[in-house]
Amino acid sequence: MGSGGGQWIVEKRSSFRSEPLEVNVSETGCLSIVVLGASGDLAKKKTFPALFNLYRQGFLQSNEVHIFGYARTKISDDDLRNRIRSFWCVFLVACCSIMLMTEWFYQIKYVSGSYDTEGGFRMLDKEISLHEEFRNSTEGSSRRLFYLALPPSVYPVVCRMIKLCCMNKSHLGGWTRIVVEKPFGKDLDSAEKLSNQIGELFEEPQLYRIDHYLGKELVQNLLVLRFANRFFLPLWNRDNIDNVQIVFREDFGTEGRGGYFDEYGIIRDIIQNHLLQVLCLVAMEKPVSLKPEHIRDEKVKVLQSVMPIKDEEVVLGQYNGYRDDPTVPDHSNTPTFATVVLRIHNERWEGVPFILKAGKALNSRKAEIRIQFKDVPGDIFRCKNQGRNEFVIRLQPSEAMYMKLTVKQPGLEMSTVQSELDLSYGQRYQQVTIPEAYERLILDTIRGDQQHFVRRDELRAAWEIFTPLLHRIDDGEFKPLPYQPGSRGPAEADELLERAGYVQTHGYIWIPPTL
């Protein structure tokens, strides 16, 4: 910050930027994107906005792309367009020209049909083929992407119908790809069954198991940070790191999604997928290269090194009022909060607790990774009780990385104080709009890059970790503790954190810099 006037000085650093790492094969030809479950929440809030943003930025070309919505609800093309429009009208009016919006909405066609009979899918295929003919698509140059924004229970039947009725008509260069949302299964057996059912229809390279946390900017930065910086290489291990926390907090409850949520709970909704994927990137060894298979090989190894979870290292919670939702059973045992300690049995991490914490209806909304270092041996400054060094990666909101460290308090006295080295994205990258996770991931599916998608063996290893605990919760053997909405969650979770070795720095708070 400049010394006078409180102005941030932003340095121009573009000359140091390297070329993009991945060389993507640029494909052309007719591209049909089909959103199944187009009438739903995810489609409205995430999928369609992401597609629009890709279109707006020129990643989807108007002379190539056509978007299809498919669901059972009987509505017209215009009804679907209006639904989408009504959700983002403020955003659209602020950012875009009317012409662009009109052009975009013109690309969307809706087909209504059931998920388990051929009629609707035959109709869908006809519409896609019409579009392909209209675009003069030669055989083999047409690309068909099916995005399943649907409850997982209908994935098998929908995949069967796609295979039966809607495949791209040639193998000469075109493709058919399927994107499936999480939660992929409910436990190890159901996930394996689902994988087998879909695996009989589609090859692994055609399947994109999406976990939108892998599309977040700061999650994508983890590999670069760890493996392109000398700073971190010698420190990133059990000799220096005391504990790691990966935290997800939301300051609202299950609003409107109680029925869905109650079947899954916070562990299946957030921890088994989003937080565990982040753990993999924090804990894995350096991959041989950036090839998707090399990265995913390393993630699988970490997951397979996780020890069985101990009961005394789990705290579950359920916020008061959760069961007032009419779609939630009166005696629901579903946790809306969980803290779980995972232990990785390998040379790098033996003895370092990885504390995964997620909760709904808490006192704040944020997601972050907090790496806490061990105490400095021989503390000549007697500053130990001020707190430990921490490296924090704030995934959202206010994306940032900061190192909490001890410095000399400026002035005549030799005393110490906690401060930080701070790379806040809002301040450093003022001209950059950070893309939404879904934008990036949908673009990857079109480009055929599976690096940021979950491979089948990865998924299996992830379910292996949590299935025993989940079964005990489902059977009512493990009960969530009540907590007040708007609180930090059950006090027992903080006690567990302390037992795991985390030392809180009382009185220190990181404030994102304002411009």
Ligand X SMILES: NC(=O)C1=CN([C@@H]2O[C@H](COP(=O)(O)OP(=O)(O)OC[C@H]3O[C@@H](n4cnc5c(N)ncnc54)[C@H](OP(=O)(O)O)[C@@H]3O)[C@@H](O)[C@H]2O)C=CC1
Ligand Y SMILES: O=C1O[C@H](COP(=O)(O)O)[C@@H](O)[C@H](O)[C@H]1O
Catalytic residue numbers, as ranges: 274
Element housing 102 (H / E): helix 98-106
Which positions from 412 to 451 touch ligand X by CB under 6 A, shown as an x/- string?
A: ----------------------------------------
- In the set 127, 187, 242, 269, which binds ligand Y (CB under 6 A)? 269
DSSP string, 358-426: EESSBS--EEEEEEEEPPPSS-TT--GGG---EEEEEEESS-EEEEEEEEEPSSSS--EEEEEEEEEHH
Instruction: State the residue number with the nearest CB to ligand Y.
Output: 269
Rounded CA separation 332/317 (Å) = 12
- In the set 31, 32, 35, 39, which binds ligand X (CB under 6 A)? 39
400: tokens are: 């940032």
Which positions from 328 to 367 touch ligand Y by CB under 6 A, shown as an x/- string?
A: ---------------------------------------x
CB atoms within 10 A of CB 378: 5
Cβ-based nearer residue to ligand X, 29 or 40:
40
Kindly compute the dihedral angle of the four CA atoms of residues 316, 151, 144, 447, in this order, to the nearest 10 degrees: -10
Question: What end-to-end distance do the CA atoms of the chain give, in Å?
Answer: 10
Tokens 């232990």 -> residue: 343
Tokens 């400095």 -> residue: 376
Report residue 396 CA to chain centroid gap: 11
Rounded CA separation 515/497 (Å) = 34
CB of 1 to ligand X, least distance (A): 37
Q: Between residue 259 and residue 288, which ones bind ligand X under the rule CB under 6 A?
A: 260
Verify binding: residue 115, ligand X, rule CB under 6 A: yes
Cβ-based nearer residue to ligand Y, 159 or 219:
219
Rounded CA separation 348/89 (Å) = 50
Of how many residues is the chain composed? 515
42 binds, among ligand Y, ligand X, none (CB under 5 to 8 A by kind): ligand X
CB of 80 to ligand X, least distance (A): 10
Q: Is residue 60 a contact partner of residue 51, using CB atoms and an 8 Å limit?
A: yes
CB of 184 to ligand X, least distance (A): 9
Cβ-based nearer residue to ligand X, 149 or 314:
149
CB of 365 to ligand Y, least distance (A): 8
Q: How many residues bind ligand X (CB under 6 A)?
A: 21
115 binds, among ligand Y, ligand X, none (CB under 5 to 8 A by kind): ligand X
72 binds, among ligand X, ligand Y, none (CB under 5 to 8 A by kind): ligand X
Which positions from 151 to 180 touch ligand X by CB under 6 A, shown as an x/- string?
A: xxxx--------------------------
Q: Is residue 166 a contact partner of residue 147, using CB atoms and an 8 Å limit?
A: no
Tell me whether strands 337-343 and 207-209 are parallel, antiparallel or unpaired: unpaired
Cβ-based nearer residue to ligand X, 306 or 443:
443
Closest CA to 66 of 82, 77, 74: 77
Cβ-based nearer residue to ligand Y, 143 or 216:
216
456 binds, among ligand X, ligand Y, none (CB under 5 to 8 A by kind): none
Cβ-based nearer residue to ligand Y, 265 or 490:
265
Burial class (CB in 10 A: 0-12, 13-18, 19+), 2: exposed
Closest CA to 104 of 80, 139, 123, 128: 80
Which positions from 52 to 71 touch ligand X by CB under 6 A, shown as an x/- string?
A: -------------------x
Cβ-based nearer residue to ligand Y, 236 or 337:
337
Q: What are phi and psi of 370, to 5 degrees?
A: -125, 110
Applying CB under 6 A, which residues contact ligand Y? 212, 250, 269, 367
Applying CB under 6 A, which residues contact ligand X? 37, 39-43, 45, 71-73, 115, 149-154, 181-183, 260
